Amino acid sequence: MSLSLDEVRHIAKLARLELAAGDAEATQAKLNGIFGLIEEMQAVDTDGVEPMSHPQELAQRLRDDAVSETDRRAAFQAVAPQTEAGLYLVPKVIE
Amino acid sequence: MSRTDWEVVIGLEIHTQLNTQSKIFSGASTAFGAEPNAQACAVDIALPGVLPVLNKGAVERAIRFGLAIGATVAPKSIFARKNYFYPDLPKGYQISQYELPVVQGGQITLQVPDGKGGAYEKVVNLTRAHLEEDAGKSLHEDFHGMTGIDLNRAGTPLLEIVSEPDMRSSAEAVAYAKALHALVRWIDICDGNMQEGSFRCDANVSVRPRGQAEFGTRREIKNLNSFRFLQQAIDYEIQWQIDLIEDGGKVQQATVLFDADTGETRAMRSKEDAHDYRYFPDPDLLPLVISSEWIERVKGELPELPEALSARFQGEYGLSAYDATTLTASREVAQFYLDTVAAAGAANAKTCANWVMGELAGRLNKAELDITASPVSAAQLAGLVQRIADNTISNAIAKKVFEALWNKEGESADAIIEAQGLKQVTDTGAIEAIIDEVLAANQKSVEEFRAGKEKAFNALVGQCMKASKGKANPAQVNELLKKKLG
């Protein structure tokens, strides 16, 4: 399996990455290198092996349902580019 | 050409906010109505280096739901990242579940009103229910041409409940949504507050010629936050799709919004990449493992479920399926009914049901009161029902007594009947005297009745009841009047 240039551009768009002229080709080559690796792995016989979602054979630890955080808005908003009335301001988004 | 008979196919996705104290992956509070961003901690606003830690209370609520609908609670489930860019989703992905959700399968049995005063039973199968985090809120009011972001809601635990495309009308979709709404409150996993967005419906709607095996192309109506809007939006959408197809058009898969002001659905400006979420297992979270011991413990703590209680009401109390469903619409109503029957006696269960669903529900509705705040207690209502049962008062007088109880004119039905002299007259002599008076004063009606006009009889009964100030026993009045006229 290999990616077309259009697919590379599509993925870049989804990831909000701007590819400069010529970057798409270089990225395509790198990504296809990774796909080469995946193809090698897919050739391995995995019949009877349970798929894993995490490299560690552990279970998620859970925390009790209790409020442990206090209001630190002032500290967080001190480093935000723009705030008003307690809100973070971002460039206009309309659905 | 004959008109095609269209079949409607509907599936619902319902987001329920779980009523935990803290968020699903952080220790920030989930309380509604705080100052903007006062409850958005470092994890919720996605500062670099933070890690999610799963809330046990959220998982337990998912287990409770799974058990309540007879689903499989997955011994192992996985969290995935759903990637998309939007400013109220600071991480750039929503932590959700994709391939292995925590709740799999299950079903709900509901009573769907048939539009003729009755109801029919319908089973809706569920596909899955999965845990995920809510996003923040975008405020598009003008902040100098910018958008304001409040992340208090970000990270609030959600259980997204997905049904199979089993519903065939908007009435069925609404009945399903209502049953689910009642259930999540019943098992106390969600407060069900639709105005505050605790229970939000998305409806997938398609149409196909009846008999066709394949589904038609569906459109998804997003974010319906009332049952009325759900019904309106689906009905509009169905007609829109049928009109389009009958005019030779083709439905394109799309996400649409419902405009409550116009009652129309309209497609969102198409985001071509909107559904390219590139799910993958979240490396920050290990698999969620739920032991059978945990499931057993939760099972032991579940209250009697509405379906079981409804069956008991029908079996033990002889209520109709529809009445039993109405009385199990919420745990509070069911409890009030149970308390009333406990005090009035099981023999009066049917009368109790009529009063709880009729007079009481009507008054509560009018006064916009919850049954837990009812001015008339279950014990008081039971006292009233007992006096109807033993013929102390008629139904008409009972309404007066109820009114008096509602207005706190007395401690009990007995006290009010006594104080206001409302005891039913069952003394034959007294009733006969009243009848004689009425007959003498209403010769015209008597003649009409004798001439064969049945209605005149009812008029005379009415006059007798009026003359007795409603206190005469109506059955006796009927009987004695018939005798006198016969």
Query: Which pLDDT belongs to residue A94?
Result: 67
- CA Rg value for chain A: 22
Q: What percentage of residues in chain B have a pLDDT greater than 90?
A: 71
**CA of B34: which chain A residue's CA is closest?**
A71
Q: Establish if A30 belongs to a structural domain.
A: yes
For residue B326, pLDDT over 80 is answered with: yes
Average pLDDT over residues B448-463: 86
Q: Establish if A82 belongs to a structural domain.
A: no
B177 Cβ contact list (under 8 Å, min separation 6): B12, B14, B201, B227, B230
pLDDT digits (tens, 9 = 90+) for B419-438: 887 887 778 888 888 888 88
Out of A10, A14, A67, whose CB is closest to B27? A67
Tokens of B163: 């049904």
When mean pLDDT is compared over B53-62, B327-336, B390-399, the highest value belongs to: B53-62
For residue B300, pLDDT over 80 is answered with: yes
pLDDT digits (tens, 9 = 90+) for B24-47: 999 999 998 899 999 999 999 999
Tell me the pLDDT band of B51, cut-offs 50, 70 and 90. very high
Q: Establish if A68 belongs to a structural domain.
A: no
Chain B environment of A85 (Cβ under 8 Å):
36, 148
Tokens of B161: 């409940």
Out of B54, B144, B268, whose CB is closest to A60? B54
Chain B environment of A53 (Cβ under 8 Å):
78, 100, 281, 287
Out of A54, A67, A73, whose CB is closest to B22? A67
Query: Which pLDDT belongs to residue B475?
Result: 84
Q: Establish if A56 belongs to a structural domain.
A: no
Report the gap between the CA of B254 and the closest CA in chain A (Å).
14
**CA of B288: which chain A residue's CA is closest?**
A60
Chain A environment of B287 (Cβ under 8 Å):
53-54, 59-60
Q: Establish if A32 belongs to a structural domain.
A: yes
Q: Rounded to 5, what percent of chain B is helix, strand, coil?
A: 40, 20, 40
| Alpha-helix runs per DSSP H in B409-453 | 413-420, 428-441, 443-450
Average pLDDT over residues B433-453: 87
- Which of A53, A63, A72 to mutate against chain B (most B CBs within 10 Å)? A53
**Measured between alpha carbons, how far is B40 from B82 in angstroms, rounded to an integer?**
21
Average pLDDT over residues B15-28: 98
**Measured between alpha carbons, how far is B66 from B305 in angstroms, rounded to an integer?**
13
Domains of chain B (ranges, CATH numbers):
6-294 (no CATH), 306-420 (no CATH), 428-485 (1.10.10.410)
For residue B275, pLDDT over 80 is answered with: no
Q: Establish if A35 belongs to a structural domain.
A: yes
**Measured between alpha carbons, how far is B200 from B230 in angstroms, rounded to an integer?**
10
Q: Give the amino acid at B226.
A: S
Query: Which pLDDT belongs to residue B1?
Result: 44
DSSP-derived letter for residue B75 is S
- Which of A6, A61, A64, A87 to mutate against chain B (most B CBs within 10 Å)? A87
Q: Is B241 exposed, middle or buried (0-12, 13-18, 19+ CB in 10 A)?
A: buried
Average pLDDT over residues B65-82: 97
Tell me the pLDDT band of B470, cut-offs 50, 70 and 90. confident
Report the gap between the CA of A70 and the closest CA in chain B (Å).
7
pLDDT digits (tens, 9 = 90+) for B333-357: 999 999 999 999 999 999 999 999 9
pLDDT digits (tens, 9 = 90+) for B204-253: 999 999 999 999 999 999 989 999 999 999 999 999 999 999 999 999 98
For residue B76, pLDDT over 60 is answered with: yes
Chain A environment of B42 (Cβ under 8 Å):
72, 76
Query: Which pLDDT belongs to residue B111?
Result: 86
Out of A13, A65, A92, whose CB is closest to B57? A65
For residue B482, pLDDT over 80 is answered with: yes
B436 in helix, strand or coil?
A: helix
| DSSP symbols for B345-360 | -GGGHHHHHHHIIIII
pLDDT digits (tens, 9 = 90+) for A24-64: 899 999 999 998 999 999 899 999 988 888 888 899 999 99
The β-bridge relationship of strands B219-224 and B264-267 is: unpaired
| DSSP symbols for B254-300 | EEEEEETTTTEEEEPPP-TTTT----EE-TTS--EE--HHHHHHHHH
Domain count, chain A: 1
Out of A62, A76, A93, whose CB is closest to B87? A93
Q: Establish if A93 belongs to a structural domain.
A: no
For residue B14, pLDDT over 90 is answered with: yes
pLDDT digits (tens, 9 = 90+) for B144-194: 889 999 999 999 999 999 999 999 999 999 999 999 999 999 999 999 999
Q: Establish if A62 belongs to a structural domain.
A: no
Out of A60, A63, A92, whose CB is closest to B146? A92
Report the gap between the CA of A25 and the closest CA in chain B (Å).
22
CATH number for A23: 1.10.20
Q: What percentage of residues in chain B have a pLDDT greater than 70?
A: 98
The alpha carbon of B358 is separated from its chain's Cα centroid by a whole number of angstroms, namely 17
For chain A, the distance separating the N- and C-terminal CA atoms, rounded to the nearest angstrom, is: 36
Average pLDDT over residues B67-89: 95
Report the gap between the CA of B146 and the closest CA in chain A (Å).
4
Report the gap between the CA of B70 and the closest CA in chain A (Å).
25
| Record: contact A69-B57, CB cut-off 8 A | no
Report the gap between the CA of A43 and the closest CA in chain B (Å).
21
Which residue would you say has higher pLDDT here, B339 or B467?
B339
Tell me the pLDDT band of B270, cut-offs 50, 70 and 90. low
Q: Report ipTM for this prediction.
A: 0.89
Tokens 């029902």 correspond to: B385
Q: Give residue A29's domain range.
A: 5-42
